[in-house]
Amino acid sequence: MNHIKVLLTLILISYVPSSVLYASDNFGAIQVIVNANSDVTSMTKKHVMAVFLGRSRTFPNGKPAKALDNKMGSSIREYFFETLTGKSISDIDAYWARLRYSGRASPPKEIDNIDEILTEVSQNVGVMAYVSGQNPEELSKQGIVVVYTLEAN
Amino acid sequence: MEDRIFARHSVPTFRNCYFLQVVSFLSLLFSHSLALASDSLLNDWELTGFGTLGYTDTSKYDDLVIKRNITQRSKKIENDGWLLDSSLGLQVRKELELEWDVVGQFVAKEKVNNSLENSIEMAFLRYRSNDGWSFQLGRMVLDTFLLSDHRDVGYSYHTVRPQAEFYAWIPFSHYDGFKTSIEFGDFDNLVRFEAFAGKTKATVNIGYLDTPTSYNYVKAAPIIGTGITWETGDFTLRASIARFRFTQNTAANKDLYESVIQLEQLGWAESREIADAYAIEGRRVTYSSIGFHWTPSHWLFQGEVSDVEGENFGNYDGQRAYLQIGYRFGEWLPHMGYSYSRDERDFPFDRFVYPDGHPASIYQPVLDGAHVLLSDNLSSAIMDQRSFTLGVRWDFASQKALKLQCDFATIDDNSLGIYSTPDTIDGEKRNWEKASRSWCSTTFDWVF
């Protein structure tokens, strides 16, 4: 077990606490977006929550839906989940740890930046993501539609 | 007598190593699926993990050793307070196609059997249809109880460890077999039915000693179970029932049997019956449970009750329950809880007394001593205890948490089924009298 202790210590040392956690950026409205060819034009808050919490794997029309997430530790991710669920981001991360490490489900794939998120959504019919401050007309030109707008409580 | 402790270290053949067969079968399926998949084998693997670095003053008391689980070695835990809760897990997952994925998980932690094969908690292939059906084949974690499928992942719950009274007795953490589930509902309600069947095994350290008869290899086949989960909003309810059958006696069972055969020759015919009552081969244990997890706003409520029923007094038999309450203040989550374990077992055999003037009555002291030892044998498995827990979790950074928790436990007379006493000299009585003990623990939990 000494090897395990050494390994655990090394991993601990390698981690620097994330400085972006609990950031106070004000995002205003968050836009939930999908590909324009998904035949989905609007979604309810409960449905958005169901997909982003792994409880549903389909759009309202029954077609497969896969959520994309923003980078772990990013302030937009914290704002989105806390506003959507009313829970602390730590509770959401613990929730996903339960699902992931019991083998039940995997959390949404993390995407590093907004450009990559828009590219993924514009190129894949079955994906769903969230962004902020985007012009719907500009999104439409990329083949993306806003299906739900999440306002701060 | 074949010693199972050493036997399990012998070189396994393909025929008798079920896990190898499962892995081989999975490999075939995996190869087939891969042939159909457009991605290459090496691309798009998710590699994630979790860890806990924890410390408890495990040598605080001379007469009792705290344990997280009966698969841990009592002496190791007593000598090293870092081993009680520390663990490291690695998980790989690959989505082969939209409906198919494969998951593997390795967990390093303190346990009697630290072989690589026994440290693999998951290795399964899964098919999930869009209409809610799921089929899994391979090695999976047991999910009969609310926390049992992620109890090694400290970050995923608020306490330092799952409640000892409820979870420490469970010898099995995974099984090799098949599982199916169906999910249905709308976005307000999700209901999931599950059923599984397979076989499982574990090596547990009963008592304090580290002799071959203290390390007991237990194997169960079949293990079958079913459960239902209902999720609505912030509320989750899970009810399960599972049954397993032990396939062979432990080294302790065999040692006991050989010893009592000699007592039979002294005229105590019932001694063989006692040994049979302790034997577990072919005996069944049924456990059923119902638990809930409710998080309205910043509150947290969680509780479970379970009933475990064995066919003979050598097996687990009793009820367990716990209730926890917490409230999140930003990064801080203080919580408190109470857990309880009641054992229904009692030694049902009277001491044997020779009639007056019987020529063998000179052996009466021997038989009296044997009766005391046989009845005391049960105390190494009795679980009559309760705990009050007070703790706090601090989520100080993304995916990292520090926890501090104090447990105040009361352990009833001769109830040493979870925590063990060093005051056990081979061949003598334990004599544990009801007493209270407390331990404070701290852990750093993270996922990556």
CB-based burial label for A13 (10 Å; 0-12, 13-18, 19+) = exposed
Q: Quick one: pLDDT at residue B24?
A: 52
Taking a C-beta distance cutoff of 8 angstroms, is the pair B377, B414 a contact? no
Tell me which CATH code domain A27-150 carries. 3.40.190.10
| pLDDT tens column, B132-177 | 899 999 999 998 888 888 999 999 999 999 999 999 999 899 999 9
By the 8 A CB rule, do B233 and B255 touch? no
Which of A138-142, B163-167, B182-186 has the least mean pLDDT?
Answer: B182-186
**Alpha-carbon gap, residue B30 to B23, rounded angstroms:** 10
Gap from B235 CA to chain A (nearest CA, Å): 13
At residue B333's C-alpha, the angle toward residues B329 and B339, to 5°, is: 140
Of A7, A46, A103, the CB nearest to B140: A103
Contact: A56, B396; criterion CB under 8 Å: no
Residue A132: pLDDT band (50, 70, 90) is: very high
> Which is nearest to B133 in space by CA: B181, B86, B101?
B181
Q: Does B307 have pLDDT greater than 80? A: yes
Q: Å from B192 to nearest chain A CA?
A: 11
Q: What is the mean pLDDT of chain B?
A: 87
Q: Dihedrals φ, ψ of B358, to 5°?
A: -65, 135
Cα distance between residue B156 and residue B204, in whole Å: 25
The domain ranges of chain A are 27-150
| Closest CA relative to residue B134, chosen from B194, B177, B45, B197 | B194
What type of residue sits at position B32? Answer: H
**CB neighbourhood size of B307 (10 A):** 16
pTM: 0.85
> Is pLDDT of B316 > 90?
no
Distance between CA atoms of residues A97 and B153, nearest Å: 8
Six token digits for residue B107: 């967990």
Considering only residues B141 and A7, tell me which one the structure prediction assigns the higher pLDDT: B141
Q: How far is A11 from chain B (nearest CA, A)?
A: 9
> What is the model's pLDDT at position A9?
56
pLDDT at A26: 61
For B354-393, how does the pLDDT look when each residue is reduced to its tens digit (9 = 90+)?
888 888 888 888 888 888 888 887 877 889 999 999 999 9
Q: Strand order in A144-150's β-sheet?
A: A109-111, A66-70, A127-132, A30-35, A144-150
Using a CB-CB cut-off of 8 Å, the residues of chain B touching A98 are 150, 153, 156-157
pLDDT given for residue B275 in this prediction: 82
Chain B CB contacts of A46 below 8 Å: 187-188
What one-character-per-residue DSSP string does B100-155 give? EEEEEEEEEE--S---HHHHEEEEEEEEE-TTSEEEEEEEEE--SSTTTTSTT-GG
pLDDT given for residue B426 in this prediction: 59
Q: What is the DSSP string of B117-128?
A: HHHEEEEEEEEE
- Does the beta-carbon distance from B444 to A104 stay under 8 Å? no
Determine whether the interchain pair B130/A62 forms a contact, defined as Cβ–Cβ distance below 8 Å.
Answer: yes
Strand partners, B392: B334, B404
8 A C-beta contact, residue B209 and residue B265: no
Q: Give the mean pLDDT of B308-320.
A: 85
Say which range, A19-28, B124-133, B218-227, B233-242, has the weakest mean pLDDT. Answer: A19-28
- What are the pLDDT digits (tens) for B225-274? 999 999 998 999 999 999 999 988 888 888 888 888 788 888 888 888 88
